[in-house]
Each structure stands twice: as C-alpha cells, then as structure tokens.
Amino acid sequence: MLDVLPEGIWSNPELRWLDPFCKSGVFLREIASRLLDSLAEWEPDHVKRREHIYRNMLFGCSITEMTGHIARRSLYYSRDASGTHSVVKFDSDQGNLPFVPAEHRFVKGRCDVCGAPEDLERGGGRENYAYAFIHDAFPTKEMDGMSFDVIVGNPPYQIDSEGNTRTMPIYQKFVEQAIRLNPRHLVMITPSRWFAGGLGLDHFRATMVADRHIAKMVDNPKLFDCFPGVEIKGGVSYFLWSRDHDGDCEFSTRIDGEITSTLVRDLRDGEGVLLRQNEAIPVLKKIRAKGDPSVAHRISSQAPFELRSNFTGSKKKPDADAVKLYIRGRGGLGSALRTAEGAGDGGLVQGLHSEGGRWPRSHPGDGSRHARRGRSALGLHDDLPRRRKLGNAGGRGELRRLP
C-alpha cells in the first residue's frame, strides 16, 4: 500500500503522518522503518533521527484500548511509551498513539453517526465501538491547529446491526472523514463492495467515482489475496487520494500478489458504475460509438417491476388476476414457476426448460432453497401440503401439473 505514495515523500522531515484507526500498529511501524532509512542523509545521527521521527512525525489513534496496547508495543516496543523499554521516552504512557474514548449519539435506538444499535453501549468500562475518528473525539482538542500531511490506514469495515443478523458497512465514514481533513495524501484499504453500491453505499460510490483527486487505485478481487484466512466477499482495494492531483486514475488489478492490468482512465466512464475490469473500457467505448440506446431503464437488478424476489405474500391461493413470476433456477440455465392457466383450484404448474443441464429436484411443497424461492414468488405459505418431486428434465424440457 505504501508503495503507491510518491517517492519524494519519504525524504521530507517536516511531514506529519497519521493512522487514525490503529489496530496492530503495522502501518506506523513500516512508515518509521522507511523514514529511518530515507532521512539518513538529512540527519546522520541515528538516535537523533529516530527521536525526531517518533516525536514529531508519527501519530495515531487506536480503535480500542486493547489495540492501543498492541500498537504501542509494535511501534515503541513497549505499551508504556513513558517506560524505560520504549524506544523513545515520552512524558505520557500513550505517547503519540492514544486510545481516545468516544460516545455514540443514539436517536431512536441507533447511533446517528455510525448506525450502531444501542445495546453496544454496555457500560462498566466495556468497549462500545464508538470510534473516536468519526465521533468527533479525535483529533483531540489539544491537537487543534495541527494538520496531517499523510493519512494511512485500514479502517473498521462493518458494525453489527438488526440484532446481529445483518452487518452494515462503516468504512466509508472513515474515508469521508479523512478526506475532510484535507491531507496532502490519503491511502486506505477497504472492501471493494462499494463498487456495486447498496447498503447505504450508493452516495459514497457516486462521490468516489466523481472524485478527480483519486490518483491510483489497486483492486484485489480474489478472496484471501490480501488477508489470508479472512473471507471478504468481493475482495478489497486500496487507493491513493492526493490533494494536488486533478485528473484520471491509474487503475490496477492485482491477483496473487502480481499486477495483471493497469490503465489510466476516468472512473466516470461507467456513468455512475465503477467498471472493475480495465478490459471493459474499450468494449464500452465501441458500444457507445454505435449510438444505440441503453437498456439500463429496462433492467432492475434488485427489484424488477418493483417486485422483490423474497416477496412472501399473504394468501394461500393466488388471485385470478395474479401476476406470473418466473424465477431462474440456480441449478441450470432456467426454470419457471407459475400459476396454472385456467386452474380454478389454484393448482400449480412447474415448467422446466433445459439444454441438457441438471435441475434442482424440488417443487413448491418441499423444503429446498429452490422450492422456497418458488413459494415466495407465488405468495404461498410454508404450510402447503407436500407434493411429489419433479425429476431431471432429461434435456428436453417438461411441463407438469401438480395435483
């Protein structure tokens, strides 16, 4: 990640570096290592050089009290920055890397800053995950007037919501807050799911795609590529935001640790959608050159015709004028569930269309996930009597009426 920064930045002893959401302290430790090497010509004395870097150039804020201990031990070689074992002895035991407590601002059971549920505030000195950087607690009042030139880090990605059955993204709030500080450079790594929007990320995506200060972006679409053993669906990406940059973005794809594709391009080319594959850009330009109208107004990926696929309905029998809903099966090229034409008793018809593929052996009466999707589409309840299963369509396609 640090390699995307301009090379000349490492030889400037006047810059202030900030990791506002420290976990292990790895970013500040690596930055310190690079600065110690790059500033050797500026200050040949190693002890004096180290003293200047640690006291005047490196700053952080831990996300919890425990990560504060871990990060200081990583950076200062001691969790007590004022102790005898600290590589630089500060007056405060937290040095330049404190944990700053913050409070949620609850409105109707939810924090209006991060969306956290009220039950996260458990009292008794326990962690409440009100991150100081986005809850106006860091930078602290004592740091008023202090500007940061380079902000680097890996923010928290999500927070539990809705009884821990659903998680909501939170990393975009850290990116937005960091940009508001207006540093010279900002480098962050986040999940790439914001490319597609949704879950409150639509505005963030639109803002990022339109931001001409994004100089570089490296996309890692493969699971476990950046964080072995940690499954982050959709992969992760990191970017360089530079205050003085105003132009196209150098967009790269990184797979198995190797850059496989790089193209300097305008992120706005996707008309609000961040195109992940550089190879898609020339294809898109050729299509646009033909002047054909877009099909975007005819397609809805989430709620076609304003009917969601998880619609449960409220009646055991479809009305006479019920709308037919066709659902594409997961086990093959296509399948359909619909109400039987002219069936006065609400009987069901399963239509199978196949080109030699295997089809899920299910119908609206059994308990498979394919059947559940069928029941939802038809507005049926789970107490529908069990009926016989349909077998493989044999590559020809069948239409059967269930009794």
Looking at residue 244, what is its pLDDT?
A: 96
Give whole-number Cα distances, 22 to 50, 61, 251, in Å: 21, 6, 27
Q: Which residue has better confidence, 68 or 162?
A: 68
Select from 3.40.50.970, 3.30.70.20, 3.40.50.150, 3.40.1280.10 the CATH code of 2-288. Answer: 3.40.50.150
Average pLDDT over residues 112-138: 86
More confident residue, 247 or 224: 247
Q: What is the mean pLDDT of residues 340-354?
A: 36
CA–CA separation, 233 and 225 (whole Å): 11
Predicted confidence (pLDDT) at residue 13 exceeds the cutoff of 80: yes
Q: What's the confidence (pLDDT) of residue 389?
A: 37
3-state DSSP assignment of residue 202: helix
H or E stretch at 358: none
341 has pLDDT over 80: no
Q: Cβ(174)–Cβ(23) under 8 Å? A: no
* pLDDT tens readout for residues 58-90: 999 999 999 999 999 999 999 999 999 999 999
Place of tokens 């050159």: 289
Residue range 51-57: mean pLDDT, rounded? 96
Report residue 18's pLDDT band, with 50, 70 and 90 as the boundaries.
very high
The predicted-structure confidence for 30-45, as pLDDT tens digits, reads as follows: 999 999 999 999 999 9
Percent residues over pLDDT 90 in the chain: 50
pLDDT at residue 354, as a whole number: 34
Separation of alpha carbons 63 and 134, rounded Å: 11
* 379 in Cβ contact with 315 (< 8 Å): yes
Q: What is the pLDDT of residue 322?
A: 67
Q: What's the pTM?
A: 0.73
Where are the chain's structural domains?
A: 2-288, 307-403
pLDDT at 382 over 60: no
| Residue 352 reports pLDDT greater than 70 | no
With the CA atoms of 207, 210, 216 and 220 taken in that order, what torsion angle do they form, in degrees rounded to the nearest 10? Answer: 60
Q: Which pLDDT does position 2 carry in this prediction?
A: 94
Per-residue model confidence (pLDDT) at position 311: 55
* Beta strands 258-265; 158-161: pairing state: unpaired
Mean pLDDT, all residues of the chain: 79
**What's the whole-number mean pLDDT along residues 312-326?**
62
- Amino acid identity, residue 87? V
